[in-house]
Amino acid sequence: MYKIIQKRQLNSQVHLIEFEAKDLAMAASAGQFVILRVDEFGERFPLTLYDFDCENGTITVVCQAIGVSTRKLCALSQGDSVLDISGPLGRSEQVQNVGKVIFVGGGVGTAEVYPIAKAMKQAGNDVTVIIGFRTKDLIICEQEIKRICDNLYITTDDGSYGRKGFVTDILKELLAKDSYDLVFAIGPLVMMKSVSGVTKLKSIKTIVSLNSIMIDGTGMCGGCRIKYNEQAKFTCVDGPAFDGHLVDYDDIILRQGRFKNKEEQSTKHYEHKCQIKLK
């Protein structure tokens, strides 16, 4: 059992949750993830490590309540516990001083930008962060990211905060004015595809973090399989970080769409059962 020692709501759907997990904290690195199971009836689902504290023996994740299991997790309170946390899993990010780095985050992917951007800044890099959201009410981690980067740009689709438009608008402007050594993109697949398209024209190395559907997290189930440089890779063991210019985004989007339809059906069935019990 892993106890929740801190929990706070970042927006209407997204929650930050800190767990007591000494062994996991000691082994964790930026870019890795864990797989959680809330209770014995729950499914296993992955969450990227937002932060980890070796001294206090804690790990922190950011969770968006969009399915049955993530809603279960976000409904818990400080002092409650979850049954299982496996990890840390995946390859840790290669943190080194490469020069000038841009991080691009979209939606809840902004939380995944934070630990890697923090580590890259500590390694001596000049770090610029661009984060984008649909509207002001969905913005998360602004102050935390502002403290660990040199420049922060925020966009909203509706113009309710920061600049109206998309993260790629600012990315194009920055690349036109100055030279950069590396770009990280973490967020919706369409966004990462667009960012990779922009940077490919400039021949700038680009890393994306892929959060495909996962079950076991060890490469056995094959659920997170992707096409990468014309080969099959598994995001749980080969990633989650990949060269953004070699990823077949269209194939991943197609696969995710199939799982999404099944998840929506499962969620509707769960909600229907709850309504029946309430009557």
* Rounded distance between C-alpha atoms, residue 271 and residue 267, angstroms: 6
What is the rounded CA–CA span in Å between residue 31 and residue 249?
Answer: 20
| Domain count along the chain | 2
**Interacting residues of 110 by C-beta distance below 8 A, sequence separation 6+:** 131, 133, 140, 141, 145, 186, 187
Global pTM reads 0.87
In the prediction, which pLDDT does 260 show? 59
State residue 271's pLDDT score.
45
Same domain, 150 and 185: yes
Both 122 and 195 in one domain: the answer is: yes
Instruction: Answer yes or no: do 158 and 45 share one domain.
Output: no
Structure tokens at 104: 């691009």
Question: Is 271 part of a structural domain of the chain?
Answer: no
Domain that holds residue 43: 2-89
What local confidence, expressed as pLDDT, does residue 259 receive?
Answer: 60
112 and 225 fall within a common domain: yes
Residues 131 and 220 in one domain: yes
pLDDT of the residue at 263: 45
Q: What is the pLDDT of residue 258?
A: 65
- Low-confidence stretches of the chain (pLDDT beneath 70): 212, 258-279
In the prediction, which pLDDT does 56 show?
94
- pLDDT at position 211 is 77
Beta bridge mates, 81? 3
Judgement on whether residues 200 and 68 belong to the same structural domain of the protein: no
